[in-house]
Amino acid sequence: MKTIRNLLLAVWALFTLVAVQAAGERFDVATREGVVTPVFWEAADSPKATVLLFPGGIGGFGRVEAGRPASRNFLVRSMGDFLAQGYNVAIFGKPSDTPDLGYQERISDAHMTDIRAVLRAVKQKSTLPVWLVGTSRGTVSATAAAIRLQSDIAGLVLTSSIVAWDKPGAVPRQDLAAIHVPVLVLHHAKDQCRQTLPRDVGYILKGLTAAPMKKQWMVEGGADPTGDACEAFHWHGFIGMEAEAVRLITGWMDQPVP
């Protein structure tokens, strides 16, 4: 009996290891001379497209534990919902020479070089169209990339957008008129973060004069916000409505409408 039990445990351990390995992978992309940028990648079953996610804060996706990134950022913790909706997931990490992706760094030439190289690497994983999706400070990166690299992408999704005019790279301050791809702006009506106040979100759509399709959604769902108003577990991070938020995003990407 002990031998059978040990055999069963060994089989279970092997199954668990395979399941973990199949969950996703972290890999490094040489993005500039002497610089590598980590990317987390996981393929969906029967995918229809890919999302390249830009987390907020100082950037990055945290350690990879049990086959998934440990960050609790809205986009990172919701990656399973994107996969369930048929979207491959790639998550942009922090370049090796940039411990913190601040506002200024996110609109720099170096950052655009890194994003361009990551896009190439992601397209080697899958030739399907790539949508850029940013949240909070990640919207600065995603918007700047959509302006400068738009021939390489299918569209842009902005969640909890940085709209405080005093911040370098704030979305309304960027050259939105240069964007010629579909854009979705998703925001929580109760977002209390000073950099992402709902009252200023409308300036984004006003600036998107050349986007072939654009949509703003102000949502009110979720429950039990905790912590700082600018952190992931408050309204700013769509707490309690992650799956619903992702369904709205992916449903719109499936068929962009005004």
pLDDT by residue (tens digit) across 163-200?
Answer: 999 999 999 999 999 999 999 999 999 999 999 999 99
Residues shown for the chain: 258
DSSP letters, 136-192, are TTHHHHHHHHHHHSGGG-SEEEEES----TTSTT-GGGS-GGG--S-EEEEEETT--
Predicted confidence (pLDDT) per residue in 38-68, tens digit: 999 999 999 999 999 999 999 999 999 989 9
Q: How far apart are CA 56 and CA 60, in angstroms?
A: 8
Q: Where are the domains of the chain?
A: 27-254
Question: What is the percent of the chain with per-residue pLDDT over 90, rounded to a whole number?
Answer: 90
Tokens of 48: 């229809």
- Report the pLDDT averaged over residues 122-142: 98
Give me the helices (H) in the chain, please: 2-23, 74-77, 79-84, 109-125, 138-148, 202-207, 242-254
Least confident of 2-6, 39-43, 68-72, 212-216: 2-6
Q: How far apart are CA 169 and CA 70, in angstroms?
A: 27
Per the prediction, the chain carries an average pLDDT of 93
Which CATH fold would you assign to the domain 27-254?
Rossmann fold (3.40.50)
Answer yes or no: is pLDDT of 14 > 60. Answer: no
Number of other residues whose CB lies within 10 A of the CB of residue 63:
10
Closest CA to 133 of 125, 142, 145: 142
Residue 7: band (very low, low, confident or very high) from pLDDT cuts 50, 70, 90: very low
Residue 23: band (very low, low, confident or very high) from pLDDT cuts 50, 70, 90: confident
Whether this prediction's pTM lies above 0.85 is answered by: yes
Answer yes or no: is pLDDT of 1 > 80. Answer: no
Q: Which phi and psi (to 5°) does residue 3 adopt?
A: -65, -45
- Report the pLDDT averaged over residues 8-22: 39
